[in-house]
Amino acid sequence: MIAAALSPLSVYTSMFLPESMFFFFIGLVLVAVLRAMRAFTWQNWGLAGAAIGVASLVKPHAWLSAIALGITLLVVGLFNKEIGFKNTFVSGLGLVAGAALARIVVGLLVAGPKALGFFGQYFGVSTIEIVIAGTASEEIADGSLPLTPVDGVVALFGPQLNVHLLTISALMALAVVGLIAGLVELFRKKRLTPASGFALFGFIWLVSMTLEIVMFTGWVTGSGDDHTTRVLIRYYDFLFVIIPLAGLSALAAGFGERVNVFVRWATAGLFAALLTPAFTGFFGTLSIQIADAPTLAGLVVNMEVFNAAAILGFSSLLLFATFPRWSPWAFAALLPVTMIGTGWQIQDQYLSLRGSQNASDIVGQQIARSFTTDELSRTWVIGSSRFDVTNVAIWADSAELAYDIFGPGSLLDATAAPEGTKRIVVIGDLQVIEGASLEVDGQGYAIYNVD
């Protein structure tokens, strides 16, 4: 608990306030699912669905975790003869109904009709149309971005999966080994215990979220926002607390000792093989941003923390392979480095980077002060970073403000702006070369009047 309180997660929630409430409801999801796995009733699964439905009101990407809940329900229900298909089906309906009702009822109470948009900007009719359209007909030139979101998913799936596997191994190798020991125990005994159930749900949650974010990264890149070397673990950053807890529970229950010695060495060897590239320069090839990957950002900026995580990571795997009885104690050495140490580092980095306002802060505050509500509704914000354009929109505080993302150095014509646009706000090195005159030329930003 101390490690969790001092981890990058706490720092992250202090930077981005919605995360605090989101982490709370994700915690309720965890408790509700573990309870439903043990007492398999439609009512308990309905409560689990309600928890994820309310969590989605805080951040729509909570729905990504709903996939893990559904898979867990099916695995536990269909592989247990005492539960059977009928109870599993009814419980599945309870899960879906609980999520929908909680989203609608609580959403209408706190946000009105706007809450009825279940997936926010992340999913709509256009998303289905893009999937149906599939890949582009023409070939992608070397060094160019994918032409469609589907192309991005296909092109980046392997590279991004490798990135996430190495990140997870660097920070949670022993924890994932503990999950595997829990799964082996569950397979051998065919009986769900609190520790093995926690390991099962943790494993499904981690695998499903990893695959979803790998595909999402490719989708975003194919949409024009280059994430080729970015690491998006913020969507499942909460698992960097939950997975170590699940792995520790499994190892403390003695599951590691009952794993065949050859399986233990093979598992430890596999993760040691992943740790090797992770700690020998691979992370230096990535664009690691605080907002994208707070935990990883805290690992790579300090040599002492980085080296300690590497040494303790390898040592903990060796301990599991040789003396599994003592492997739970390895967490006492690992967590202060991978959670507390990285937490302090990322806090220092954030203060140094965000201690002063950047261009998007400045121009966002400027237009909020000087533009009327009508003028904001006729303003188009463009930049090469999603963070920059959304940051301007947050400062402007106008639901009618339009914004788009373009490649670095793009030269644009004012005719590309939405109909009725009177002003164009540019962040970064983009330029409007036709159809508009420069009004304000600031440091890192510009404001144009549409002719």
If you average pLDDT over residues 376-394, what whole number do you get?
Answer: 87
The pLDDT, as a whole number, for residue 125 is 45
Q: Does 425 or 111 have the greater pLDDT score?
A: 425
Q: Would you say residue 128 has pLDDT above 60?
A: no
Sequence-ordered list of residues with C-beta below 8 angstroms from that of 185, at least 6 positions apart, any chain: 193, 196, 199, 250, 253, 255, 258, 259
Quote the percentage of the chain above a pLDDT of 90: 43
The CA–CA distances, whole Å, from 380 to 46, 357, 377, 384, 403 equal 43, 21, 8, 14, 5
If you average pLDDT over residues 21-38, what whole number do you get?
Answer: 90
Per-residue pLDDT band for 431 (boundaries 50, 70, 90) equals: confident
Q: Does 417 or 301 have the greater pLDDT score?
A: 417
Q: What is the pLDDT of residues 194-214, one digit of tens each?
A: 999 999 999 999 999 999 999
Q: Would you say residue 96 has pLDDT above 60?
A: yes
Per-residue pLDDT band for 335 (boundaries 50, 70, 90) equals: confident
Per-residue pLDDT band for 351 (boundaries 50, 70, 90) equals: low
Where b means 16+ CB within 10 Å and e means fewer, 177-195 reads: bbbbbbbbbbeeeeebbeb
User: Mean pLDDT over all residues of the chain?
Assistant: 85
- Name the CA dihedral angle for 116, 122, 123, 125, rounded to a multiple of 10 degrees: 100
Alpha-carbon distance 88 to 91, whole Å?
Answer: 5
CB atoms within 10 A of CB 303: 8
Distance of CA 295 to the CA centre of its chain: 11
| Under 8 Å between Cβ of 382 and 404 | yes
The pLDDT, as a whole number, for residue 380 is 92
Domain boundaries, the chain: 1-123, 144-355, 359-450
CB atoms within 10 A of CB 325: 12
pTM to 2 decimal places: 0.79
Per-residue pLDDT band for 147 (boundaries 50, 70, 90) equals: low
